[in-house]
Amino acid sequence: MRRYMLLILSSYLVLLYSLSSSAMEPANCRILLSETDISLSIISSEYIQKTADIPAHCRVHGLILPAVEFELRLPENWNGKFFMVGNGGYLGVFFDQSYGLARGYATASTDTGHSGPDPVFALNNRAAEVDFAFRAVHVSAAAARKIITQYYGRKPDYSYFRGCSTGGRQGLMEVQRFPDDFDGWSIGAPIYDYTYKQIYNAAWVTQALFANERKGYLPRSKLKALGKAVYKQCDALDGVTDGIINDPRSCEFDPFRELSKCNGSESNDDCFSTAQIEAISKIYSGPGLDLYPGHVKGAEWLYSPSEKLTGGWDVYFTGILKPAKGVKNTIGQMDRDPYGGGEFKAVQLRNAYSFLSILPLKKIGRIMMCSRISISRKYLIHHLWRP
């Protein structure tokens, strides 16, 4: 009897091995096209060859009605786990999954139900607003698990979600609304109050930089001088001069007192006009704690060996723009293509007009906020400043 049971067990293991080893044949990737049903359409399913960075895998591109698209990557040597990555900003694109894929995870990402970098998609479009707020991640995760189970012949042992900023908010919404979607969440810097956050970013900062014929605008070349001045004032407050402001709240940098003023030579990168200093002060002060606090000091300029975008104010506030001539009564060039004309438009610059156009829809703030969380599954939240 014992020999008989061992024979059955051996046969079962051989069957499992044969199923897993044949899963990565290109023909098997194409079989997933048949997973299309009344609400889910598999647009494509293709075999991707192994590279130096990622393993051989199937790449599945799906559509969930009415407009949510997702990408699922199924590795040859699956570790039995599912890993979904969150989004950033308003970007309606699939985000990089190479971290999880290289470690054997089946990975997924969603476009959140729209394409493009700005929030204009939500204007008079309640379905798109709901997709971005919480539905897209949930339905994409459900579709991904269904396909994973079909492809590998079993459900994932564990499912995880990781995201930062918008991805952090997505994680919080998942924890609150759909706690059974994942076994664990890594939630970074969640933005969960869109209305007041965008009052600051898209309205307050944009007006500071681009109102008054752009006199307060800071060319990227001046951000380095601003950053150096801030660190000169506040780096050593923790007792160590190491290029890190340990607690930005303790930094009492005053741009009116600490910055060099230009005397008829505004083109000099080491000095600032009165309008530019006023704009900097306005960004630091914010519209008031009852609405939204000002920007912390210490992230104006981050060193980049290539001298490209650093992740400081150049990415979020100023971008790379040529000075506009004859611009009057405007808050800037609201080009919806962030890479148009070979020039990067700052995140908040390209969002400003789009968001202000839908700001009267006050439901936006509420639908994208999280309230109390009380579940037994594990989640890790990290929200901090960086040097």
How high is the pLDDT of residue 327? 37
Domains of the chain with bracketed CATH? 24-192+371-382 (3.40.50), 196-364 (no CATH)
More confident residue, 308 or 161: 161
Any idea which residue has 């939630």 for tokens? 187
98 pLDDT band, cuts 50/70/90, is very high
Q: What is the per-residue pLDDT across 221-262, written as a single tens digit (0 to 9) for each? A: 899 899 999 999 999 999 999 888 888 889 999 999 999 999
What lies within 8 Å, CB to CB, of 323 at 6+ separation is: 214, 217, 219
The percentage of residues in the chain with a pLDDT greater than 70, rounded to a whole number, is 74
User: Is 317 in contact with 346 (CB distance < 8 Å)?
Assistant: yes
Q: Is the peptide bond before 117 cis (omega within 30 degrees of 0)?
A: no
User: Is 328 in contact with 185 (CB distance < 8 Å)?
Assistant: no
User: In whole angstroms, how far apart are CA 283 and each of 276, 287, 299, 320, 355?
Assistant: 11, 9, 12, 18, 19
How high is the pLDDT of residue 174? 94
How high is the pLDDT of residue 207? 85
**CA–CA gap between residue 257 and residue 263 (Å, rounded):** 16
158 pLDDT band, cuts 50/70/90, is very high
Any idea which residue has 């104010």 for tokens? 313
How high is the pLDDT of residue 337? 31
Please give the mean pLDDT across all residues of the chain: 79
User: Is 173 in contact with 191 (CB distance < 8 Å)?
Assistant: no
How high is the pLDDT of residue 118? 75
Q: What is the per-residue pLDDT across 321-351, written as a single tens digit (0 to 9) for each? A: 544 444 333 333 333 333 233 444 555 555 4
Instruction: Check pLDDT > 60 for residue 265.
Output: yes
Which strands form 106-110's sheet, in the order they lie side by side?
Answer: 40-48, 57-64, 68-75, 106-110, 81-85, 158-164, 184-188, 378-382
Among 356, 386, 10, smallest CA distance to 199 is for: 356
How high is the pLDDT of residue 380? 84
Instruction: Check pLDDT > 60 for residue 301.
Output: yes
User: In whole angstroms, how far apart are CA 70 and each of 86, 201, 227?
Assistant: 12, 29, 39
